[in-house]
Amino acid sequence: MMFFIVVIICVIITLYILDNVLPHKYPTGPTRFPLIGNYLEIRKLRNKLGFYHLVWDHLAKCYGQVFSVKLGRLEVVVVSGYDAVRQVLCKDDFDGRPDGFFFRFRAFYKRLGIVFVDGPEWTEQKKFCMQHLRKKGFGGDLMEKLISEEVDDLILHLNKRYEVQNGKPIEVCGLFDVSVLNGLWTMLIGNRFALNDSRLAKLMKLVHASFRMLDMSGGILNQMPFVRFLAPKCSGYKDIKLILHEFYTFLKESVDEHRDKINDQEDFIGAFLMEIEKNRESPKSFSEEQLLVVLLDLFLAGSETTSSMLSFVILLLLKHQDVQTKAHAELDAVVGDREVQLEDRNKLNYLEAVLMEVQRHSNVAPLAIAHRSIRNTSIQEYIIPKDTLVLASIWSIHMDKQHWGDPEVFRPERFLDSSGNVINDSWFMPFGVGRRRCLGEVLAKTNLFMFIAKLLQHFEFKVPQGVQLPDKSQDGVTISPSAFSGIFIPRRDIN
């Protein structure tokens, strides 16, 4: 018995030493422990600070802007600061995506989709998706028309609620979910959902819940997959499995409904099904599973972040009535009584500055989607081995005190020069930079401008009497505002 105990102690000591003997010029970090790495320390800091990006900021102050941690058996390098982050995002050596249990679990235990793949498969899928989305209007006049119609439908809905409910407050979080998704979904399959679609509302609640359950590394399921056997509920495994089942059931029904349109290549799903037929002998790149995961990626990427960002805009306009007043005045002077169009964006400099400042200040995506080194490479003076997971803190750039002066202050004027023109600051990167920057950037920017410009034109946003607006947001893969409500008071009829 004593011999057995001694052996276990020796094994633990050996693992401890091996875990803390780092390769030459590899970034340092906090002390690692066998099997769990730095999990407990990071969990403790996360509970104390409330957000993972604040954990990375805290550790950066201790170990430098490039440091390492071990999450379970997962090697992770975290980078902060303008130079290091841009190097990661712009250097081809870091174009890989994470390849762990969670990322395969969500994709039928394979490497599928468009967000969490790399190499030739990513290039092929990106080319196909962009080609067929452009056919359906992505980035063009048709996209503007589709989004404008969604905003008009939402405005009609808000006006009716104001009349029927005598100006009662409206819960803002979740308000934009269906409207935002409709623009993308119409381009994908030619259909849109009603604002009161109960099934879609349920799915969007699942989207928000899943984003809150994880972090950018894939969470404990990716760091220590064995935990799912010990604690299927606490680890999130059981809930995520149910959420994925709900989504794939919904998406498969959408695919099955479009099988009769397989000869209609103008329909994204139809075009993909045609491609599957052409590639029957080599189904790896084009298969029904691949189609379902691509749709899941687009569904999630095209809805949650934009919906959260729109909610943040409303929240900050409620908090800063003076900013809202200036935006109203600019809209009245530049656009007047006619409907806002996307081309007005170039003339509405103050509104553009407001939207930029909301993105900088709220940091909906505080970390870029995780990168992976595809070969042995370097960051600054550090050597990074192949297959190291790299987390790049966009938050550290947007909240850099030396560059912004008062980053914690919401001040749209920081994006305007003395002549009132918009400043294109390279430190502003809400969609990332480089080859793997957000694919939906054009759609997200169009949504952001059209929704807010048209809503501001039609409504004045007021804080309900006696209501305290939230100061703390919700952490997860992305940041979202805590629940809040506002009163949408109609301004006037627009011709």
Residue 438, marked binder: yes
Please tell me the total number of residues recorded for the chain in this structure. Answer: 495
Which pLDDT score is estimated for 252? 92
What is the rounded average pLDDT of the residues 443-463? 96
15: pLDDT strictly greater than 50: no
Q: Is 329 exposed, middle or buried (0-12, 13-18, 19+ CB in 10 A)?
A: exposed
Residue 301, pLDDT score: 79
Residue 12, pLDDT score: 52
Lowest-pLDDT range, 28-32, 155-159, 264-268, 440-444?
A: 264-268
pTM above 0.85, yes or no: yes
Secondary structure (DSSP) of 90-117: H-GGG-B---SHHHHHTTTTS--SSSS-
In terms of Cα–Cα distance, which of 306, 284, 361, 313 is closest to 459? 313
What is the spatial distance between Cα 135 and Cα 251, in angstroms, rounded to a whole number? 21
Work out the pLDDT band at 279, boundaries 50, 70, 90: confident
- Judge whether 78 and 67 are in contact, CB under 8 Å: yes
Average pLDDT, the chain: 89
Strand order in the sheet with 66-71: 66-71, 74-79, 389-392, 371-372
pLDDT at 16: 46
Fold of 1-490: Cytochrome p450 (1.10.630)
Given the DSSP bridges, would you call strands 74-79 and 389-392 parallel, antiparallel or unpaired? Answer: parallel
Q: What pLDDT was estimated at residue 266?
A: 64
Q: Report the share of the chain in percent with pLDDT over 70.
A: 93
| Domain layout of the chain by residue ranges | 1-490
183 closest CA partner among 156, 224, 149, 231: 149
Q: Give the pLDDT confidence score for residue 55 in this predicted structure.
A: 97
Count helices and strands (H / E) in the chain: 20, 11
Query: Contact, 227 vs 221, CB < 8 A?
Result: yes
Coil vs helix vs strand at 47: helix
DSSP string for residues in 194-252: -TT-HHHHHHHHHHHHHHHH--TT-HHHHH-TTHHHH-TTTTSHHHHHHHHHHHHHHHH
